[in-house]
Structure 1
């Protein structure tokens, strides 16, 4: 321990940040010198699944298990309160991961405390909400002006009044976040430096039926370099008014991931083409296909890729398609990318689970014989190994 005590303070703080918060606090018993070392660590991580209580490991019936969960949650909140009250110096990163319900008012107090301190740069609220909508976050969240990274899961943002600008925010990750489309647009328009944006609604995000369009959405993202989103969000922005091109070119966008995409679903492929045409410097394209969907006949569209022969992928060097099923147009789209990408280096196809090795070899053979603009492209067709 003497050797560790002699390390520079910055290294000691780094070591303490790597420990679970309970273990970091326990270092206070090592010596008088270590008693208050933990209260200055800039990174605080609280995870319910790693938070230990005396009854962990006991075999309990359903009622006893529920009582234990409630008691454990209370102890976790009490521990967070104690740490925040004793903490000195800036809190640069704060993570809270836990199961929540509508009665967890302690979360509001925690966020309010962080907003008053106003030093947090990275905020991660990873919730598993026991209910239909996510946990409604307090308005004090929007007072965290120093944030550069914000990750929200199973949360709700239903604030209709204006809120302050996140002038430093460069990364925003929203997963299963319930909100209004007007609130989302107002949030994005108040993030002038945003470069990385993930919107993974997985069919859960709730929007109002307003008049916002896809053009309105991307007008809020002029500096975007990384974009990952669920195709389910498209219908939230009045897709019948889908333009042929965006009024603002996404000149900085280099990474694009579209999840739950079905080419024959209405607006599926046209929307993808819209983004590709508006992203002249795109370097990596990832598609996660979604064919386990029952479509009404009026929701299905047919098209030929010849209609999109003007598409060019001048800077694309990597294409990845997950859950590839060789459905209508999927294989033709890969051929189109091969023919229109002069600097392409890698094509990775991860087939659906029902593909066997013969199917993989057949797809590989077809692609290897297709016209290719790049002389150095590597084509890989192989399922992920099951764990």
Structure 2
């Protein structure tokens, strides 16, 4: 312990940032020197399940007499939930009030209602300090974000899960934001576009939201969406996000070129969907410097007519070029027509491709997997160094 105590304060704080906040708090009993170290750490993360275990330890064997507020709930389950919530926010408030120095990273993971005044208070406190650079709200419910969250102009990383963004009336932009991750965030196309346009340095974007969470009406949104990402390097989206916001007649090319894009991931992609292949090729055409392409395939629910349409159109994409692509990964490949045709195209158009990793859909029988594997291994490759791995 003496050796650790002699370390520079910055290193001690970095060590405390690596352990849960309740464990960091317990180091205050080690000695007088350690009493206030944990109150200066720049990273705070509160996880409901873990923090609740710690607060329960203070109840004692016989428990604590319920408060008047807790007694107002007739059902034991409601009373227990309310007690848990009160303890959780009380612990968070205490830590925030005692905390000394700047807070650079803040995370909160818990179940909340559509509106939660306690979280509003926490975010208001953070906005007043305005030192947060990385913010993660993992809330599992449709929590409506307060407007003052968008005044955190120091943000470089923002992760939102289970949130609602209604509008941005006085939003002036996140001028330093480089990473944005939206998981099941309810937002309109207009607001999303405004948000992205207000992040000029955005390099990493993840949108894991389906058609039910993104309110969009314009057929041309794919072009508008790409225009918002001039310096994007990492892009991960759900295909179902585009299922509603693109039409079957969108252009073969767009005016915007994503010259900085190196990594592209498309999740929930049904190869049998009539829009899948044109959409993929459109993105590839717009990313001349793409280095890795990852596709997470969704189970298809389309008839043979739709499959045939998509497959036949693939022949019109012979002009694409993937001069920098070195890795292709496809998970749960199930479509024997469009999926294989797409892989064949990529192999033929990628002269520096080094690694192809394909996992087949687990519901294919042994014979089907064998046939698909043989076809994959028989395709001609533009790259002499490519290694194809099939599982």
Helix, strand or coil: the match of 2:110? strand
2:167 is matched with 159
Q: Structure 1 CA distance, aligned partners of 2:78 and 2:359?
A: 41
Q: Which blocks of at least 5 consecutive residues in structure 2 are unaligned?
A: 62-73
Task: State how far apart, in whole Å, the 1-side matches of 2:363 and 2:104 are.
Answer: 46
Distance 1:286 1:182 in 2: 28
Distance 1:345 1:107, change over 3 A: same
Partner of 1:367: 376
Task: Name the structure 2 match of 1:332.
Answer: 341
More displaced 10-residue stretch of structure 1: 353-362 or 309-318: 353-362
Summarize the Cα distance change of 1:241–1:147 in structure 2 as closer, same or farther, 3 Å threshold.
farther
Paired residues, number:
374
Distance in 2 of aligned mates of 1:106 and 1:186? 28
Which residue of 1 is the match for residue 350 of structure 2?
341
Distance 1:357 1:294, change over 3 A: closer
**Contact 2:111–2:140 (8 Å) recurs in 1:** yes
- CA distance in 1 between counterparts of 2:46 and 2:176 reads 24
2:180 pairs with 159, 165, 172, which one? 172
1:299 deviates by 10
1:54 alignment partner, SS class: helix
Instruction: Say if 1:294 and 1:338 are closer, same or farther in 2 by CA, change over 3 A.
Output: closer
1:276 to 1:210, Cα distance in 2 relative to 1, 3 A: closer
Equivalent position to 1:191, from 199, 214, 224: 199
- Flag the 1:67–1:351 CA change in 2: closer, same or farther, 3 A: farther
TM-score (norm 1): 0.90
**2-side partners of 1:142 and 1:336: how far apart?**
44
Output the aligned Cα RMSD.
2.3
Q: CA deviation at 1:10?
A: 1.3
Contact 2:139–2:162 under 8 Å retained in 1: yes
Q: Secondary structure at the match of 1:293?
A: coil
Shift in alpha-carbon separation, 1:260–1:124, aligned structure 2, 3 A: same
Aligned with residue 93 of structure 1, among 97, 100, 105:
105
- Matched residue SS, 1:239: coil
Mapped contact 1:95–1:124 kept (Cα < 8 A)? yes
1:292 and 1:250 mapped to 2: Cα distance? 29
SS at match of 2:56: coil
For 1:257, the equivalent position in structure 2 comes to 265
State how far apart, in whole Å, the 1-side matches of 2:304 and 2:161 are. 31
1:294: Cα distance to partner? 5.4
CA 1:233–1:296: 2 relative to 1, 3 Å: farther
Give TM-score, length-normalised by structure 2.
0.90
* Residue 362 (structure 2) aligns with: 353
Offset at residue 35 of structure 1 (A): 1.4
Give, in whole Å, the separation in 1 of the partners of 2:4 and 2:192.
Answer: 47
Distance (Å, rounded) in 2 between the aligned partners of 1:222 and 1:38: 41
C-alpha distance in 2 between matches for 1:28 and 1:195: 39
Q: Which moved more, 1:205-214 or 1:345-354?
A: 205-214
- Identify the residue that residue 2 of structure 2 maps to in structure 1: 2
Q: Is 1:105 aligned with 2:117?
A: yes
2: CA distance, partners of 1:116 / 1:125: 18
Distance 2:86 2:308 in 1: 50
